[in-house]
Structure 1
Amino acid sequence: MSMHIKTYHKYIFSEILGPFFLGIFGFILVMLIQILYEFSDFIIMRRVSFEVVLKLLYYKIPSLFVFVIPVSLLFAIIFSFGRLMRDGEIFAMRSSGIYFLSLTLTPLLFSILLSLILWFFTYSLIPESNYRSNRLIQKYFFLNPAPIKGENVFFHDEEGRYYYVKKIIENRNVMQNVLVFDTSSSNKYPIIYTAEEAIWNRDSLILKNGVVHHLGDDSFVVWEGKFEEFKINLPQDFMYIFYRDRTPQEMPTNELKKRINVYKKAGISARSYLVEDYLRIAQSIAVPIFALMGFSVILLTGRGGRLWGTAFSIIIAFFYYGFNIIARSFGEYAVFSPFLSAWLPNITLGSLSLGVFIWKVRKW
């Protein structure tokens, strides 16, 4: 009996494996062609070299896995199980005492393995490839990209200093129009520093051409004076507040989590970073959900075939990832919580799939 079980598990796995890799290759090829189409005008008009184009496509491939792996597994399940059902093999297995629920075990275990692999990719490989591809795009496809900057930034450190910065010019490590309200324990009364500009490095903030105001217990200025340069020592992690050369999608997960902690300490909103952090886990968990959706489609329709599997995979994938984009925006703009915005597509698709699966699998 155990040999019998091992045989049909191997058979199911071999049936899925071919369509899965076909889906990986086909969907990546289609998406790379779409990327080439989007940049075709820039490639021709600015005479971007073939080497740069290949490098861009190479850096884009890891980010496509988030989309391609779940969709390819969905396609493989619909394609292979549809063929098994169309050729009567599932009915033959049922007559031998092998129920449909047992046939789902191997694909589901395979989906969990793919989920772990995808999570590993999202930890550092995909963010790094996003960073490199975006730098290539800025360098070769767009002229005079605007410097990365922030405006009207408020934050505080753990020692009781509160900062307001009118503008941050990150590619020069310069702040313009800086105000510091210092209530740290080393001073009996608050001190206010204003400066035309400030320069930061890894552990300090250097104010330049400013005025210092010492306040008394009645909140009036008791002393003030000018300075050419004044240094404020900062915790090293606070450089993340000023230096933001990477978007959340370009950051390795360890840096993303560190930045979230620093922003929370500084009283700065970390919504976009929290959404990205939750989304990386949710996108990995999507692989088993897509597998469950594939089984639900087969049980619901009993249809299969190459054309049907491809068409349904694309429809579901576009719905899911379109939903992801909208939910991410809702999270970043505080319509939903970061956790809910990242997990809502999974919860919706997973609930529908599980409901249909439980409803239909009892008959098989």
Structure 2
Amino acid sequence: MLTIIDKYILKRYLATFAVMLLLFIPIGIVVDVSEKINKLLENKVPIVEIALYYYNFTVYFANSLFPIFLFLSVIWFTSKLANDTEIIAILSSGISFTRFLRPYIMGASIVSVFVLLMGFFVVPSASEGFNNFRYMYLKGGGKEAMRGDNTDVYRQINDTDFIYVNSFNTDTKTAFSFSLERFKNDKLVHKITATRITWNPKDSTYTLYDYTKRTVGPLNDVIVKLPEKKAVFEFDLEDLTPVVYIAETLSLGKLNAFIDKERERGSSNINVYLVVLYKKYSVPISAFILTIIAVAVSSMKRRGGMGTNLAIGIALAFSFVFFDKIFGVLAEKSSIPPLLAVWLPNIVFGILAIYLLRNAKR
């Protein structure tokens, strides 16, 4: 059963977190609009698409920065309780510090479940819409937008076939500077190139523009050129997409299936996909760690008041986000195991949380 104190603290926990989101998200939108207003006007972006973009923007960045918002909200209202001597009154009534933490842990559980479900089902869709809008209207003044992001995707499809694309746009399902090479016994059999290749969902085919096929012969090569050609290939549409882009836009089930397929192919980019997968689980757990640190830091009444607690909180929150980003990049670009790299910030700050909690109990 929840006591009056539990309900009071839990209500403050959730309400302050919600208010923190409502305060900072509009600021982020205003800053983003001020940076992009020229390109939005130049490309004559419809109002409906702008509204949809900022919905996706809100979901995407709220999920990315939620540890900072949560940490600052807990620091804020706990410091307020400490300055009003409410914590002293609660502990003086015989309630232990561990028991005092219970509503905080309940609040962290609610937030964690919410963030977990958002990361599984809502954020991937928002990430896709957010990136599609950027590629369509904001990159290269709207001219290079249709080309997407220059990612230079190179993949081995099976034992004999290799594909390469310079860029891919998920909105038009079009890849640019496409090539397919087939080898047998380490010798090139044929090479297909096209300036662009487009997916046709109605009949599950691809249309290649400025098609060229060069078949290597024992004496002479055979070259076939066509302005346009439809073809069926063994690779999937996802094989043409940028590495991180596609991983971020897949729901949990699709992401797991995608990783299994890439692992079977021996993809060299498997660490990138695993980082995206593991972060779906590690980020919600950080809610508990940051909550405990925030309570331990702000539960004491300090001479500097709430400002001191907020300064400490901001430093710790940004340190957590910094380490989270750094180790994520290291997992993608180095030999560090992705699971260790993604969870290392939680482990380090978890140890810090235990240390601060013990000091706070004293």
Question: Normalising by structure 2, what TM-score?
Answer: 0.78
Deviations 1:32-51 (A, max 9, x none): 22322332443465565655
Partners of 2:153 and 2:242 within 8 A in 1: no
1:325 corresponds to which residue? 325
| Paired AA for residue 127 in structure 1 | P
Deviations 1:200-223 (A, max 9, x none): 97589999634367xxxxxxx7x9
Partners of 2:116 and 2:281 within 8 A in 1: yes
Shift of 1:23: 1.3
Corresponding position: 1:123 with 2:120: yes
2:193 corresponds to which residue? 197
1:258 corresponds to which residue? 257
Shift of 1:114: 0.9
Indicate how the Cα distance of structure 1 residues 335 and 205 shifts in structure 2: closer, same or farther if over 3 A, else same: farther
Distance 2:216 2:257 in 1: 33
Deviations 1:36-69 (A, max 9, x none): 2332443465565655443322221111222454
Deviations 1:306-359 (A, max 9, x none): 645554443333222222222222111115222222222222222212221123
- The alignment of Structure 1 onto Structure 2 pairs a total of residues equal to 340
Q: Which runs of 5+ in 1 are unaligned?
A: 184-189, 214-220
Distance 2:44 2:18 in 1: 34
Q: 1:179 aligns with which of 156, 181, 185?
A: 181
Partners of 1:74 and 1:294 within 8 A in 2: yes
Counterparts of residues 7-22 of structure 1 (less than 5 Å): 7-22=4-19
Counterparts of residues 60-209 of structure 1 (less than 5 Å): 60-141=57-138, 142-145=141-144, 147-148=147-148, 151=152, 153-157=154-158, 161-165=159-163, 167=165, 170=168, 171-172=173-174, 176-182=178-184, 193-197=189-193, 209=213
1:342 corresponds to which residue? 342
Partners of 2:83 and 2:301 within 8 A in 1: no
| Paired AA for residue 156 in structure 2 | F
Distance 1:137 1:72 in 2: 25
Corresponding position: 1:56 with 2:53: yes
Distance 1:124 1:294 in 2: 29
Indicate how the Cα distance of structure 1 residues 88 and 294 shifts in structure 2: closer, same or farther if over 3 A, else same: same
Helix, strand or coil: the match of 1:247? helix
Distance 1:263 1:63 in 2: 26
Partners of 1:153 and 1:167 within 8 A in 2: yes
Moved more, 297-306 or 349-358: 297-306
Indicate how the Cα distance of structure 1 residues 122 and 152 shifts in structure 2: closer, same or farther if over 3 A, else same: closer
Helix, strand or coil: the match of 1:336? coil
Helix, strand or coil: the match of 1:126? helix
Distance 1:265 1:347 in 2: 31
Partners of 2:153 and 2:241 within 8 A in 1: no
Distance 2:259 2:16 in 1: 40
Indicate how the Cα distance of structure 1 residues 305 and 256 shifts in structure 2: closer, same or farther if over 3 A, else same: farther
Shift of 1:296: 1.9
Counterparts of residues 26-45 of structure 1 (less than 5 Å): 26-43=23-40
Partners of 1:27 and 1:68 within 8 A in 2: no
Partners of 1:82 and 1:298 within 8 A in 2: yes
Shift of 1:102: 0.6
Indicate how the Cα distance of structure 1 residues 275 and 7 shifts in structure 2: closer, same or farther if over 3 A, else same: same
Distance 1:177 1:136 in 2: 27
Distance 2:73 2:175 in 1: 50
Helix, strand or coil: the match of 1:97? coil
| Paired AA for residue 196 in structure 1 | I
Distance 2:100 2:29 in 1: 34
Superposition RMSD in Å = 3.7
Shift of 1:16: 2.7
Deviations 1:150-199 (A, max 9, x none): 64734253xxx32233546645467755332347xxxxxx9852123387
Partners of 1:331 and 1:341 within 8 A in 2: yes
Question: Normalising by structure 1, what TM-score?
Answer: 0.77
Shift of 1:226: 5.1
Distance 1:125 1:75 in 2: 24
Partners of 1:163 and 1:181 within 8 A in 2: yes
Indicate how the Cα distance of structure 1 residues 15 and 284 shifts in structure 2: closer, same or farther if over 3 A, else same: closer
Q: Which runs of 5+ in 2 are unaligned?
A: none
What percentage of residue pairs aligned between the two structures are identical?
A: 18
Partners of 1:82 and 1:302 within 8 A in 2: no
Shift of 1:78: 2.3
Distance 1:119 1:275 in 2: 15
Deviations 1:84-129 (A, max 9, x none): 3223332222232111211111111110121111011111211211
